[in-house]
């Protein structure tokens, strides 16, 4: 299947995903010397192609689609014009060597001068910045800029043991039940709002026969490998996933959904016969 056909399904295999990640293209453009700001039209083109370039399981109103689109464009404009990602790429950065049990730290010159830790540090070249971003283990590293420090991963950096379903052998028992009901060994599991995919990576190490799908709204330069990536709004999942997923789970992602009713509809339609959904929905008080 050609790349254009894959994009048109909204479900992208891990084998082609890194080459087709627009965030990587933006990062390399900035490191190559792009100093001007990204325009609304540039980001809108990416969002339209990435998030609306496939048929959806549910129909959204024009108002709902417009709200999701404009918010995503605004978020990306902030991130790559004046947010921490742009500052990291353009700043003179210092990395301190990681101590045992510590998270690695990256500093601007001003932040380093204020830091009292005497650990040895070195200036990062552009090549080192790329290598740093390509390693998903660095996603938990801290970015220090003046009085602020934030992790490099914006969403979804959680081990599977932090998910409620992982406790007390609940997950293993549920897999046995699904296999008995569906009569198949290779079950499809989807993390709804999986971010960088760490939880699915953990699952794959324990159950390599499972087929993993990471559904996430926010792409990162780096990610943990998964069988398939579903980049889009949880309110607008691809039609290609209809009746395909045996188990849908989520942890702390529902608070970011704009339309929880649409997300529920998508989940129900994605489930295979006998499938299970373990998603806690955080409902905002009106």
Do 76 and 47 contact (CB within 8 A), yes or no?
yes
In a domain, 11, yes or no: no
From 98, 130, 151, give the residue that closes a domain.
151
Question: For 74-88, 129-143, 201-215, which range has the lowest pLDDT when averaged over its residues?
Answer: 129-143
Report the DSSP beta bridge partners of residue 191: 214, 249
Q: Which residue has the tokens 């464009």?
A: 73
| CATH, residue 178 | 3.40.50.150
* pLDDT score of 171: 87
- Our measurement of the distance from residue 280's CA atom to the centroid of its chain's CA atoms, rounded to an integer in Å, reads 19
In a domain, 191, yes or no: yes
Query: C-alpha distances in angstroms, 8 versus 4, 40, 54?
Result: 6, 23, 5
**Mean pLDDT calculated for residue range 204-218:** 94
Q: What is the DSSP string of 71-128?
A: HHHHHHHHHHHTSHHHHHHHS-EEEEPPPTT---EEEEHHHHHH------EEEPPHHH
**Mean pLDDT calculated for residue range 186-194:** 94
In a domain, 186, yes or no: yes
Kindly state whether residues 198 and 139 are assigned to the same domain: no
Q: Which helix (H) or strand (E) holds 129?
A: helix 126-134
* pLDDT per position as a tens digit, 52-83: 999 999 999 999 999 999 999 999 999 999 88
* pLDDT score of 54: 94
Q: Which two tokens stand for residue 239?
A: 């039609």
In a domain, 63, yes or no: no
**Mean pLDDT calculated for residue range 90-105:** 75
Kindly state whether residues 166 and 273 are assigned to the same domain: yes
Kindly state whether residues 217 and 180 are assigned to the same domain: yes
CA nearest neighbour of 234 among 268, 186, 208, 206: 268
Kindly state whether residues 167 and 264 are assigned to the same domain: yes
Which has more confidence, 220 or 6? 220
In a domain, 75, yes or no: no
* pLDDT score of 279: 82
In a domain, 36, yes or no: no
Question: For 23-37, 106-120, 212-226, which range has the lowest pLDDT when averaged over its residues?
Answer: 106-120
Which has more confidence, 131 or 282? 131
Q: Which residue has the tokens 């929880």?
A: 260
> In which domain, by residue range, is 220 found?
160-278
Three-class secondary structure of residue 151 per DSSP: strand
Do 22 and 79 contact (CB within 8 A), yes or no?
no
Query: C-alpha distances in angstroms, 209 versus 77, 168, 184, 203?
Result: 39, 21, 11, 10
Kindly state whether residues 198 and 123 are assigned to the same domain: no
Kindly state whether residues 210 and 114 are assigned to the same domain: no
Q: Which residue has the tokens 């990610």?
A: 223
Judged against a pLDDT cut of 60, whether residue 284 lies above it is answered with no
End-to-end CA distance of the chain: 46
Kindly state whether residues 92 and 188 are assigned to the same domain: no
User: What's the chain's average pLDDT?
Assistant: 87
Q: Which two tokens stand for residue 181?
A: 């009901």
Kindly state whether residues 174 and 241 are assigned to the same domain: yes
In a domain, 117, yes or no: yes
pLDDT band at 155, cuts 50/70/90?
low
* pLDDT score of 285: 46
Judged against a pLDDT cut of 90, whether residue 96 lies above it is answered with no
* pLDDT score of 56: 95
Kindly state whether residues 191 and 107 are assigned to the same domain: no
* pLDDT score of 286: 45
- The share of the chain scoring above pLDDT 70, in percent, equals 91
* pLDDT per position as a tens digit, 225-263: 999 999 999 999 999 999 999 999 988 777 788 898 899
Q: Which two tokens stand for residue 204?
A: 């794959």
From 151, 181, 199, give the residue that closes a domain.
151
In a domain, 208, yes or no: yes
- The share of the chain scoring above pLDDT 90, in percent, equals 51
Q: Are strands 148-151 and 142-145 parallel, antiparallel or unpaired?
A: antiparallel
Kindly state whether residues 217 and 117 are assigned to the same domain: no
Do 46 and 76 contact (CB within 8 A), yes or no?
yes
From 121, 151, 181, give the residue that closes a domain.
151
Kindly state whether residues 142 and 190 are assigned to the same domain: no
* pLDDT per position as a tens digit, 143-154: 888 777 777 766
Domain count, the chain: 2
Which has more confidence, 176 or 158? 176
Kindly state whether residues 200 and 104 are assigned to the same domain: no
* pLDDT per position as a tens digit, 14-59: 999 988 889 999 999 999 999 999 999 999 999 999 999 999 999 9
Do 252 and 281 contact (CB within 8 A), yes or no?
no
Do 186 and 245 contact (CB within 8 A), yes or no?
no
């Amino acid at each position: 299947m050609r790349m254009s056909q894959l994009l048109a399904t909204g479900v992208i295999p891990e084998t082609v995903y890194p080459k087709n990640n627009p965030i990587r293209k933006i990062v390399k453009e900035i490191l190559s010397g792009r100093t001007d700001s990204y325009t609304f039209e540039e980001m809108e083109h990416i969002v339209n192609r990435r998030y609306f370039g496939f048929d959806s399981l549910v129909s959204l109103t024009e108002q709902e689609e417009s709200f999701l689109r404009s918010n995503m464009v605004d978020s990306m404009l902030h991130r790559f014009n004046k947010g921490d990602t742009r500052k990291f790429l353009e700043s003179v950065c210092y990395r301190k060597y990681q101590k045992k049990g510590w998270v690695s730290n990256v500093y601007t010159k001003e932040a380093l001068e204020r830091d009292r830790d005497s650990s040895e540090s070195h200036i990062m070249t552009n090549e080192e910045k790329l290598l740093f971003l390509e390693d998903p283990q660095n996603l938990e590293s801290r970015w220090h800029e003046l009085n602020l420090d934030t992790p490099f991963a914006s969403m979804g950096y959680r081990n599977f043991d932090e998910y409620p379903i992982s406790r007390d052998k609940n997950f293993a028992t549920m897999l046995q039940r699904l296999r008995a009901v569906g009569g198949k060994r290779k079950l499809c599991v989807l993390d709804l709002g999986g971010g960088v995919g760490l939880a699915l990576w953990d699952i794959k190490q324990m159950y390599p026969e499972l087929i993993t799908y990471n559904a996430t709204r926010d792409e990162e330069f780096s990610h943990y490998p998964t069988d398939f990536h579903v980049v889009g709004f949880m309110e607008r999942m691809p039609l290609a996933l209809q009746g395909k997923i045996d188990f849908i789970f989520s942890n702390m992602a529902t608070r970011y959904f704009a339309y929880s009713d649409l997300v529920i509809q998508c989940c129900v339609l994605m489930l295979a016969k006998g499938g299970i959904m373990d998603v806690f929905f955080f409902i905002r008080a009106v």
